[in-house]
């Protein structure tokens, strides 16, 4: 088995931290590089940490597979423009740089309801990201569209917690075409990204919440 190299964006976040742990123990990867604003408190022989300023980033690294777990909220970012930078501009920028450097696979967390023409800012931004990434022509592009992502966050998001609580209550009722709205755990999302990296080699793939939920532990 030919070993590969990976790049993770957002490795300190809710899903990214689980993905980092999974890839470090994955024999498929000989090296895992993370782009972070401050060091993650993990020591591993396969781990390479790079402190980056996405605004100034203009180079790429050797990474066969790129995993994008970047994401924020308007409240945390401070404005819609700042949110757009994190959820659209930075992922697109890295995708362009890495494709030019030879990356073969880009795996990104989007959201259920992503639509470039949506009247809802959040859904529109996610849809614009999907559209931009698809247009790049990656040999393999995997787009994950989770509903609510559950897990222990560093910051408290009251509205989101209420939403997750409600979603968990009605989750058993979400069947058929509504399965895509089922909440999923961050660990399951990370595991589904790892699985996709192993099993999808070419083409465009959309992975919804009901597919992600199969990886719940």
Catalytic annotation, residues: 122, 126
Distance between CA 128 and CA 89 in Å, rounded?
Answer: 10
Encoding tokens for residue 29?
């990867």
d(CA 69, CA 82): 17
Q: Are strands 47-51 and 65-68 parallel, antiparallel or unpaired?
A: unpaired
50 has which bridge partners? Answer: 35
5: which 2 tokens?
């190299």
Q: Do 148 and 178 touch, CB atoms closer than 8 A?
A: no
3-state DSSP assignment of residue 179: helix
Residue 33: CB atoms within 10 Å: 19
Query: What is the distance between the alpha carbons of residues 120 and 38, in angstroms, rounded to a whole number?
Result: 32
Reference 126, options 96, 106, 146, 141; nearest CA is: 146
* Structure letter (DSSP) for residue 10: S
């Amino acid at each position: 088995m030919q070993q590969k190299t990976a790049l993770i964006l957002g490795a300190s976040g809710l899903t990214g931290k689980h993905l980092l742990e999974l890839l470090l123990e994955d024999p498929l990867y000989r090296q895992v590089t993370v782009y972070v604003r401050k060091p993650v408190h993990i020591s591993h022989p396969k781990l390479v940490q790079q402190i980056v300023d996405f605004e100034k980033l203009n180079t790429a690294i050797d990474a066969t597979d790129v995993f994008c777990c970047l994401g924020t909220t308007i409240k945390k970012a401070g404005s819609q423009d700042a949110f757009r930078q994190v959820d659209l501009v930075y992922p697109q920028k890295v995708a362009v740089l890495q494709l030019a450097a030879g990356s073969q696979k880009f795996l990104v967390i989007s959201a259920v309801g992503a639509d470039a023409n949506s009247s809802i800012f959040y859904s529109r931004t996610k849809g614009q990201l999907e559209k931009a990434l698809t247009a790049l022509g990656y040999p393999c592009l995997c787009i994950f569209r989770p509903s609510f992502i559950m897990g222990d966050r560093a910051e408290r998001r009251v509205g989101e917690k209420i939403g997750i609580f409600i979603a968990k209550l009605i989750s058993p009722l979400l069947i058929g075409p509504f399965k895509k709205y089922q909440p999923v755990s961050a660990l399951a999302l990370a595991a589904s990204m790892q699985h996709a990296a192993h099993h999808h080699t070419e083409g465009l793939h959309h992975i919804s919440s009901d597919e992600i939920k199969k990886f719940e532990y």
